[in-house]
Structure 1
Amino acid sequence: MQVPKASDVLAEDLRERILRGEFREGMVLPPERELVVQTQMSRTTVREALRILEVQGLVRIRTGRSGGAYVQVPGGESVASSVSLMIRGRQIRLAALLETREAIEPACARLAARYRTDADLTALEKANEAISVESGSRTDFLQANVDWHVAVAVASHNELFTGFMSALSRAIYASTDNQDFIDTEVRRLTVRAHRGITEAIRSRDAERAVRRMNRHVHAYAEAVLKVDERTAIDVPGD
């Protein structure tokens, strides 16, 4: 039987207390010396436990007179970071990324049509303006495309969707940055699709937003995969 390290045990205890709300966001955890007295563990063990929490994004360590371990609650960026690491670490195929986006984005569009705010619409229009610049480089086009798709997810006001879409959009950007499919016609169709979906979201027409997003992400995926060799996805046998 493997015995867990003392630092892991302490980190797990503090993590649960943070997630239960016993230590709220912005609060500072008890000082190291106090934790040493409370737990009867060494200072080295306490510091290691705090480092574990810092890596997990649950505390932010500050030094100096006002230093300490300040509690922070994981947000959408934590989801994006974890998903990005998985995508890169397991070298997820581009086809799989596009399939995932086709499954998620229509739901984002539906929620965005229901819950969007004026600030959300402003972000969407800003991205639309950027992607409409005909003289823009491929890099500018791809970044504006990412900004728009993430803005739709943000407008859904669902932090999990926002985190997933941030990671997926970045990965798809990286995978398509050197592709030849981004021609004048693809740009024109993308601009048209984005504006149509934005208008449906503005009008709070959820069903129209879903239909248009479905067509858009599917057409974009087909355009990408026509010039990409990674079209096959390994599927385990029955």
Structure 2
Amino acid sequence: MSEPAPAEALQVPKAAELVAAQLRRQIVMGERAEGELLPPELRLMTELGVSRPTLRQALRILENERLVRIHRGRNGGARVSRPSVQTAGRHLNNLLLYQGATLDDVHTARLLLEPAAVARIAGTVSAEDVAALRASVAANLASTDGAETRRIGSEFHIQLVELTGNRSLVLFAQLISGLLDGALIRHDAERLKQRMPSQSEGLIHDHSRIIDLIEAGASREAARHWREHLEAVHRQLRKSINTDLVLDLEA
């Protein structure tokens, strides 16, 4: 019969972590509005039943998580900052860096997500949805700025996933897009200043084609076409970036 684990091995949450968890839940559940100034220290200490050092440590935890912005000084205080995709992306990048992930890994995740999404929505989207997708393609073709072209193209990928109506998939798509775009912007800034019509217009044509397939309800062909498109995008990326290096957007 095994002996019980020593008491010191048990992980008991500290008071500050419990307070941070309580405030965190209020923020993410929308009980505290974006930009709202939290009550003064004395009032929060009374409401939460904690000491000043415990409260301040809890607020530092939330500040590190970017859930509050602390302004120090006479008229300072802690203001609520709701969770964002950008903040989540920074945390995700740190985790991927720690785990040794690469841009090739991120590309593979995109391959698993987006073709399945377009297959799912084929034949189910409304005329208004199709019109919005076509408007995005038209705006991309009309753009003469490389960075703007890339932004519209990235948003198109997210638009497709949004049509599944699945919020979790949309968040994943936004995070993946942010990682890929961030890497390219950081490592390939000079090339972004110029538009490369022969390449970009070919990829935009793929966008037009996927809309046709979705509208026609051709789910299998849509998935295949979009997989080939993503592979083409990744081949372009590899021309500028060594995508098998460990992901680090801060390098």
- Paired position in structure 1 for 2:55: 46
**2:16–2:58 Cα contact (<8 Å) kept:** yes
- Paired position in structure 2 for 1:222: 235
- Paired position in structure 1 for 2:171: 163
* Structure-2 separation of matches of 1:155 and 1:16: 29
Aligned length: 227
1:157 aligned counterpart, secondary structure: coil
- Paired position in structure 2 for 1:172: 180
Deviations 1:5-34 (A, max 9, x none): 321122234546777x6x856598887545
**1:132–1:191 Cα contact (<8 Å) kept:** yes
1:142 maps to amino acid: R
**2:89–2:178 Cα contact (<8 Å) kept:** no
* Structure-2 separation of matches of 1:148 and 1:208: 19
The equivalent position to 1:139 in structure 2, one of 147, 160, 173, is 147
- Paired position in structure 1 for 2:138: 129
* Structure-2 separation of matches of 1:69 and 1:13: 16
Shift of 1:194: 0.5
* Structure-1 separation of matches of 2:206 and 2:128: 21
Trace 1:1-238 onto structure 2 (pairs within 5 A).
1=8, 4-15=13-24, 24=31, 26=33, 33=42, 35-53=44-62, 55-56=64-65, 74=83, 79-87=88-96, 92-113=101-122, 116=125, 120-133=129-142, 136-177=144-185, 178=188, 183-226=196-239, 228-231=241-244
TM-score normalized with structure 2 length = 0.66
2:199 aligned counterpart, secondary structure: helix
TM-score normalized with structure 1 length = 0.69
Deviations 1:131-165 (A, max 9, x none): 223x7233232222212112222222222222222
Gaps of 5+ in 2: 1-7, 72-76, 247-251
2:122 aligned counterpart, secondary structure: helix
- Structure 1 residues 98-107 or 204-213, which shifts more? 204-213
1:132 aligned counterpart, secondary structure: helix
Change (3 A) 1:79 1:205: farther
* Structure-2 separation of matches of 1:186 and 1:231: 23
**1:80–1:167 Cα contact (<8 Å) kept:** yes
1:195 maps to amino acid: S
Could you say what the CA RMSD is over the residues aligned between the two structures, in angstroms? Answer: 4.2
**Could you tell me the percent identity over the aligned residues?**
24
* Structure-2 separation of matches of 1:187 and 1:40: 59
Change (3 A) 1:111 1:30: farther
1:139 aligned counterpart, secondary structure: helix
